[in-house]
Amino acid sequence: MFLLIDNDEGSLHGAPTACAAEQSRYTPHDAPLRLSCRMFVLDQDDRLYRLPTRTFEAMLLAPKKYPLPRFAGTRVRMSDVAVELFERQPVRVVWSTFDMLVFDDHGTLDTQAYQRHQRACAELGLVPPLIEARNTGTVVNAAKRFVAQGGCWVPSPAQLVYIGAAALGRIKCRRL
């Protein structure tokens, strides 16, 4: 579920970040790591929108009060991105997740589908070693894996760059 964006060069798949030499200048070893999470939605035409965390949390708690009519009747791609901050400015992408959001005909978020996918991902991350140790037969229960996969997407390298640039404030996108 998580895609780490940090490596020796400071990026993965060309995601825009500060180079390793710049990172040492931005983040002294004794400085505390400061993170900021940013959420984005990518529509069917690859238009990127910033989804404020408070808006998303409100949509999860009271979906009918916070519809997004532009996404009525669709499944859209969402990315949750953590960026490292130095002096309150984003300097590099630390990690990203890529989920699907389902909206009904009125633009109301299907919170049950979202939560079902999140639970399946969590169970896959926490439970498989225990299950595999007990499983002596050839039948594999893949139901959770299918549910989790239905709630995720894999971005192209170009989409990674696009989302990373928006997360770092290098390009502007509309806010929802």
Is the pTM higher than 0.85? Answer: no
Q: What are phi and psi of 92, to 5 degrees?
A: -165, 155
| CA 148 – CA 114 distance, rounded (Å) | 10
Domain map of the chain by residue range?
2-110+152-175
1-30 pLDDT, tens digit per residue, is 334 334 333 333 333 333 333 344 444 555
81-136 pLDDT, tens digit per residue, is 999 999 889 999 998 989 999 999 999 999 999 998 888 777 766 544 444 445 55
| CA 29 – CA 145 distance, rounded (Å) | 39
